[in-house]
Amino acid sequence: MGPKLASLLAVLAAVYLAVAATAVDDAPLPRLPHQDIPAVFAFGDSTLDTGNNNVLPTMVRADHAPYGREFPGGAPTGRFSDGKLLTDYLVEVLGIKELLPAYRSGAANLTVADLSTGVCFASAGSGLDDATATNAGVATFGSQLADFKQLLGKIGARKAGEVVKKSVFLVSAATNDMMMNYYMLPSGRSKYTLEQYHDLLIGNLRSYIQPCTTWAPGGCWWRGCRRWGASRCS
């Protein structure tokens, strides 16, 4: 494990412990020393979705009771949680901002400053297999990446290059592929063995990431992998 990867894992562990401590005694979250991280970008499913499904024609939504009871204001926001998600705590602990906004549901109100400090592209019910998202009527992983590419255009090439080289990119995906697709629908099991389906998901993730290396000026927007220990973008 490289020192950069160890540093990131330490940050995430500190966030987890801080959140756990806060849940016990309702203390304010501590701030970590500045980590030179300007933004956090999240992709994937309901684990990270902060409200993108609110504007999608799907039943996979959390913009209604009983969600959000412990969220500031006590109102549902589209987060599949009583309160905040890990990504909200992460940007708060890092001193970036208080919450990680959803890109799609907040697009009309998000400023360049908002976009430059991170947003969430994740869509509850999504996965690495497009069929998973299509069946649920939510955003595919590919469309989430297309949203990110659109964001880079909005903040401009120079700013995009500065931001993405130092940002944290989080992905939570594949649970829905297995539970809501492969194991639930007969079509998947009739086409693939379990091992073959695993290989398909891994291959899809690789195919999603590789083309993105040309999106930011000077190389790989998925620079987090290199920053935290990998030797090259691949």
**pLDDT tens digits, residue range 67-117?**
999 998 999 999 999 999 999 999 998 889 999 999 999 878 899 999 999
Helix, strand, or coil here: 136? helix
CA dist 77 and 84 (Å) reads 10
CA dist 119 and 106 (Å) reads 10
Residue range 16-43, pLDDT digits in tens? 555 554 554 455 666 665 568 899 999 9
Domain boundaries, the chain: 3-172+206-227
Residue range 43-69, pLDDT digits in tens? 999 999 999 999 999 999 999 999 999
